[in-house]
């Protein structure tokens, strides 16, 4: 891979969930084309998909910024949603605040944040009630 930093940007606007996962799919394709190992691509794709879905479910969308360097892949997903009131609970596998409608679509298993943690090397969450949440996901190459 070349030494330069590759930057990608996606708007996550998806009221009816029909395009949820598009940004993650785009990143997956780019990483595969760059020759990143399938194992690393899978980790990024899973973690980013969960963050993307969260932005759609809880905040009606947001933005994704991706930085690819020879050392790591950094995904930053930010939204202007309600924020996370109880971080400890949110990290518990199985805990979810998703609505019934969202659950009927197959989401809301309470696995989002645990999956992000499991498949990344570093994860940072910056959240303010009433203002929004920014999740930073880093996967080392």
Partner 1 sequence: MTAREVAEKLNMTILTGSGDKEVTGFYTCDLLSWVISHANSGDMWVTVMNNLNILAVASLVDVSCVVIPEGIEAYENLLERAKEKDITLIATNRSAANVIIEASKLIGR
| Interface residues toward partner 1, by CB under 8 A | 17-22, 24-25, 28, 38, 42, 45-46, 49-50, 53, 105-107, 109, 111-112, 115, 118-119
3-state SS record for 78-132: EECCCCCCCHHHHCCCCCCCCCHHHHHCCCCCCCHHHHHHHHCCEEEEEEECCCE
Minimum Å gap between C-beta 104 and partner 1 is 9
Select 6 or 111, whichever has its Cβ closest to partner 1.
111
State in angstroms the smallest separation of the CB of 17 from partner 1. 6
Nearer to partner 1, 25 or 127 (CB): 25
Q: How far is the CB of 10 from partner 1 (least distance, A)?
A: 13
The CB density around residue 13, as the number of other CB atoms within 10 Å, is 12
Polymer length in residues for the chain = 141
């Amino acid at each position: 891979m070349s030494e330069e930093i590759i930057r990608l940007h996606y708007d996550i606007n998806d009221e009816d969930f029909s395009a949820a996962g598009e940004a993650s799919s785009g990143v997956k394709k780019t990483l595969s084309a760059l020759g990143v190992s399938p194992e690393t691509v899978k980790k990024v794709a899973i973690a980013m998909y969960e963050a993307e879905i969260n932005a759609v479910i809880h905040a009606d969308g947001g933005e994704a910024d991706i930085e690819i360097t020879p050392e790591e892949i950094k995904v930053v997903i930010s939204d202007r949603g309600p924020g996370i009131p109880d971080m400890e609970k949110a990290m518990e596998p199985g805990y979810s605040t998703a609505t019934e409608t969202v659950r009927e679509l197959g989401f809301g298993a309470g696995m989002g944040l645990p999956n992000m943690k499991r498949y990344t090397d570093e994860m940072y969450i910056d959240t303010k009630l009433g203002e929004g949440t920014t999740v930073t996901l880093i996967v080392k190459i």
